[in-house]
Chain A
Amino acid sequence: MNQLANPVEVLGIDAGGTMTDTFFVRADGEFVVGKAQSNINESQAVLESSRDALAHWDRTVEDVYPEMVTCVFSGTAMLNRVVGRKGLRTGLIVSKGFEDFHRMGRAIQSYLGYAFEDRIHLNTHRYDEPLVHIKDTRGVTERVDSMGNVVVPVRLHEAREAARELIGQGCKAIVISLLSSYLNEAHEKAVRDVCREVAREMGVEIPVFASVDYYPVRKESHRTNTTILEAYAAEPSRATLGTISDSMKEVGGRFDLRVMASHGGTISWKAKELARSLVSGPIGGVIGAKFLGEKLGYENIACSDIGGTSFDMALITKNNFAIHKDGDMARLVLSLPLVAMDTIGAGAGSFVRIDPHANAIKLGPDSAGYKVGTCWPDGGINTVSVTDCHIILGYLNPDNFLGGILQLDVERARQEIKKQIADPLGLSVEDAAAGVIELLDLSLRQHLRAMITGKGYSPSDFVCFSYGGGGPVHAYGYTKGLGFKETIVPAWAAGFSAFGCATADFEYRYDKSVDIGITDESSAEDVATATATLQAAWDELRGKVLEEFRINGFKDEEVTLTPGYSMQYLGQLNDLEIDSPLPVLAGAQDWDKLVDSFNDTYARVYADAARSPELGYGITGAIMRGSVVTKKPNIPVEPEAGPEPSAESHLGTRPFYYEKKWVEANIYKMELLKPGNEIKGPAVIESDATTYVVPPGFETFLDVNRLFHLIEC
């Protein structure tokens, strides 16, 4: 097919801590994956990775970038800025008497992100440095009560003094977060205007962030942390993204760079609320799985992503993923909507140690990361990793690790496993290494099962998608015996997160807390007030969403708006997010429709019998999502080539250790397999970026969309 008729249209980028992946998709759905070592200069890594990818098509960056229509970026630079406390010096103004709450933090922040053992042991708990130093914090006398009434009027002369001091001592931004401001914004806005005035008088230009302008939601710590992040980390990151965008323009790119955001949509790098792009990497995979599911007819999907350091799981039910409203990231509680995921700190590169007291194998929680394991002498690692075990058992090809970039020393890995694991346990090297892999698979399997059954589902209702660099290696192990409908490994598993980013909608989402409660005893007037409150919140949020799109040059009529709300039975703790059945609420007569929609969703998510309408209904939050049409990747469709893999795809055989014996596994080249090809285990299917293991007792076939289906015989 000629290049003009089949241009490269979509680019997804996943700039991780170790590797920067790029995923290019052509109009016909064909794709290439590129990899480059991540770099402090992110735009350079992106271009290098692009060159690596496009080389597969014999094309150049300068040639391809001008023909692309969409590009989505996800990266960890902003996260690193927060974790390393290298943000912009920010001043904080709070209600007087509450100056210490930010540095005290919520107790949960002392153990967020920890392994289970460290969460339950107090001596490992630790509070990170606050984002804003106490010396850069000021209190202003004022008080709004929990109903939104002004109890103490705001003393603006104090705000003036505070702003002058903060700017005077070198703060580059000011954040304002007052008690209960989500119920009454007057004080915060007045303080905000005073700060701007003072900055003008002092002749400096600094941004001022009032929490109500960004996150008018309950929970002080969450709201304050998130607003601080806008000033502290998002503003500097905007500059970085601007540089990447510029470097793409230099090579001819004419698309608008978008960033993956925690709520599962993508936003412009010019977005007002940029803090939500803090976390994005693992979310891409979930979005990609949902996209594939919608196209190919899988509505319930268990997503599983194994990278070098962690195992991330998420559930898609009836083509929807759940949103966690107060996500946490970088050990901070935040008011950001976050695609709900479960993560455990065990991955393909986890360290393996012996607990000398229990004499048992212990995995992680730390991992070798990009240093691989003892099998890579240049990495300087002396502790055995899971990868070492895979190498000596024939699962991975030591000569083709990451496409042969790294030369691995199998003998060194064998010696280290013998010394550190096998000898202390009195096992052969093979049995010790197989034990490690079995333990990892078992632990992943238990977590996967717990996540599904814990929500009241059965694995038999789900198709399991397995991706990430380590997914295809472990897919058989952690799905074995769970009873999934099917286990699917995309041929582009290693670039799946980058692919997922490219499939995400261009979507903004704004949230606002509301307090609505309606029972049997409520009057018609109460109901009318309730609908009016919700509609007023939607109106406010709609303005914000449309403003974001205007920044990117979209007209209001191009934006599809989806209002939503969080509803719960009064007295219950958890709410559900519902897309509103009505675009606009005209009055009390519409209330029942909101309730019906909630009841239906509740029955679908839990069960009919679990519904509790007698409790009455509460609405806790208003949501507004707006999206515009974007170009998404096409999924490849290739002709069937029959069950027999071609001769050139068969690379030979290799000894492979499984269930206490060595067998000869057939080795295939993934890129050369054709749809319809069937392969019986033991087999190992290799590609540059990942390895797909099919042990004895399993078989697999490749379908027309380049998805491998793993079947337990």
Chain B
Amino acid sequence: MSTYTKKQVSDLVKGDLDWDTLHRMLSMPKDKERYSHYISVLQEQVDWDDRIILPLGPHLFLAETGEDKSLVTKCECGYEYGDYQKNWKLNALIYVRDSEEKMQQVYPKLMAPDTGWQVYREYYCPSCGTMHDVEAPTPWYPVIHDFQPDLKAFFDWLDLPAPVNA
């Protein structure tokens, strides 16, 4: 069984892990301590005390609030997007690139999609302005709900007690 130090997991999160170790991590079954190491590295990145349950993106987390143990989607800056089972994007700032002019701000001319067929929807934190996600759907498509974790099953796999409100 391979085990890794918290430093190695921290390097993994930062993208600084050497390839040999990263390769071994990818190829081998996960070690038992991985979840706790990983979460504690993430926890050190944020200024708030609510317990991180899962990362949803580089700066977006699923967290258990200290007051009532409710599970919310939360930005690194502390902004809360509400219940984790609801699509957090509906509470984000949305910028839609739906014209050739807006597309040319990010891609050279003729290198971007025709906005009649495809638009980019960018989701920003209303509090700190971090871009959390970009979608590239057809213009009429509803806001995509990316991921709905099954926390009970997940904690069952981890062999750890699940959050009370999972």
Contact = CB atoms under 8 A, between A and B. Distances in A.
B36 to A, nearest CB: 15
Interface string A107-118: 000000001011
Given A126-B19, A383-B2, A420-B1, A356 B24 contact: no
A123 B1 contact: no
A626 B28 CA distance: 48
B24 A366 contact: yes
Interface in B92-118: none
Contact of A353 (B19, B23, B28, B32): B28
B contact face: mostly helix, strand, loop, or mixed: loop
A354 interface: yes
B15 interface: no
Contacts of A121: 26-27
Contacts of A118: 23, 26-27
Given A383-B2, A420-B1, A356 B26 contact: no
Nearest to B30: A356
Contacts of B23: 118, 124, 126
Contacts of B29: 353, 355-357, 362
Interface string B142-157: 0000000000000000
Contacts of A115: 27
Given A353-B29, A383-B2, 19 more contacts: A115-B27, A117-B27, A118-B23, A118-B26, A121-B26, A121-B27, A123-B26, A124-B23, A124-B27, A353-B1, A353-B2, A354-B1, A355-B29, A356-B32, A357-B29, A362-B28, A362-B29, A365-B27, A383-B1
Interface string B1-36: 110000000000000000100011011111010000
A622 to B, nearest CB: 41
B1 A356 contact: yes
25 contacts: A115-B27, A117-B27, A118-B23, A118-B26, A118-B27, A121-B26, A121-B27, A123-B26, A124-B26, A124-B27, A126-B19, A126-B23, A353-B1, A353-B2, A353-B29, A354-B1, A356-B1, A356-B29, A356-B30, A356-B32, A357-B29, A362-B28, A362-B29, A366-B24, A383-B1
Interface of B: 1-2, 19, 23-24, 26-30, 32
Nearest to A355: B29
Contacts of B28: 353, 362
Interface string A93-115: 00000000000000000000001
Interface of A: 115, 117-118, 121, 123-124, 126, 353-357, 362, 365-366, 383, 420
A355 B32 CA distance: 11
Max count, chain A CB within 10 A of own CB: residue among B1, B2, B23, B32:
B1
Contacts of B32: 356
Contacts of B26: 118, 121, 123-124
A420 B3 CA distance: 12
Nearest to B159: A356
Contacts of A357: 29
A85 to B, nearest CB: 13
A680 to B, nearest CB: 40
Contacts of A117: 27
Contacts, number: 31
A582 B30 CA distance: 61
B135 to A, nearest CB: 23
Contacts of A365: 27
A267 B26 CA distance: 41
9 closest pairs, A vs B, by CB? A355-B29, A124-B26, A353-B1, A118-B27, A356-B29, A123-B26, A354-B1, A357-B29, A124-B27
A383 B2 CA distance: 8
B35 to A, nearest CB: 13
A405 B162 CA distance: 53
A355 B19 CA distance: 22
A117 B2 CA distance: 17
Contacts of B30: 356
Nearest to B32: A356
Contacts of A353: 1-2, 28-29
A233 to B, nearest CB: 21
Contacts of A124: 23, 26-27
A365 B26 CA distance: 13
Contacts of B1: 353-354, 356, 383, 420
A355 to B, nearest CB: 5
Contacts of A383: 1-2
Contacts of A126: 19, 23
A354 B32 CA distance: 12
Nearest to B29: A355
A518 B31 CA distance: 61
A420 B2 CA distance: 10
B48 to A, nearest CB: 32
A117 B26 CA distance: 10
A494 B19 CA distance: 33
A460 to B, nearest CB: 37
Nearest to A419: B1
A365 B24 CA distance: 9
Contacts of B27: 115, 117-118, 121, 124, 365
Contacts of A420: 1
Nearest to B31: A356
Contacts of B19: 126
A366 B28 CA distance: 10
A366 B20 CA distance: 11
Nearest to B157: A357
A71 to B, nearest CB: 35
Contacts of A354: 1
A76 B73 CA distance: 53
A366 B2 CA distance: 11
Nearest to A424: B1
Contacts of A355: 29
A75 B81 CA distance: 61
Nearest to A382: B3
Nearest to A384: B1
A366 B24 CA distance: 9
A354 B30 CA distance: 11
A152 B30 CA distance: 56
Nearest to A421: B1
